[in-house]
């Protein structure tokens, strides 16, 4: 398997457990690795034969901008489900960053993997 990736996709959303967090939009950042076979696209040089990172990013931006999760864990799980189910991805690794959530830290968040890891 090959990997198609998106690094540092920044999206504003409502995320958090505190009352003040429910009233504002915060920026989260995503790093996503998605297993796929790029050989058909490499031979054809046709966007229709590949996993389009632009299409994935647009779908996730649309979903996340409208979401209002309390926990990054719940948001991360849903992101992975969307990628796997809607784009037929057998394995995904997601790093979800929540910058500024802890004073003195550049970022906090979660890293999750779902599906069958590529060989």
* Catalytic annotation, residues: 98
Q: Where are the alpha helices (DSSP H) in the chain?
A: 19-22, 39-44, 53-66, 72-87
Beta bridge partners of 114: 92
Opening angle at CA 55, ends 95 and 113, nearest 5: 25
Q: Look at the alpha carbons of 108, 114, 118, 119 in this order and tell me if their dihedral is positive or negative.
A: positive
CA 79 – CA 61 distance, rounded (Å): 10
| Beta pairing class for 2-15 and 68-69 | parallel
């Amino acid at each position: 398997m090959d990997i198609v990736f998106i690094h540092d996709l920044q999206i504003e959303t409502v995320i958090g457990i505190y009352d003040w967090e429910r009233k504002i939009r915060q920026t989260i950042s995503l790093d996503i690795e998605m297993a796929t076979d790029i050989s058909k696209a490499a031979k054809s040089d046709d966007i229709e034969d590949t996993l389009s990172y632009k299409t994935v990013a647009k779908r996730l931006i649309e979903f996340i901008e409208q979401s209002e999760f309390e926990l990054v864990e719940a948001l991360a799980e849903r992101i992975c489900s969307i990628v796997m189910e809607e784009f037929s991805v057998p394995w995904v690794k997601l790093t979800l960053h929540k910058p500024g959530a802890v004073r003195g830290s550049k970022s906090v968040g979660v890293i999750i993997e779902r599906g069958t890891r590529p060989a």
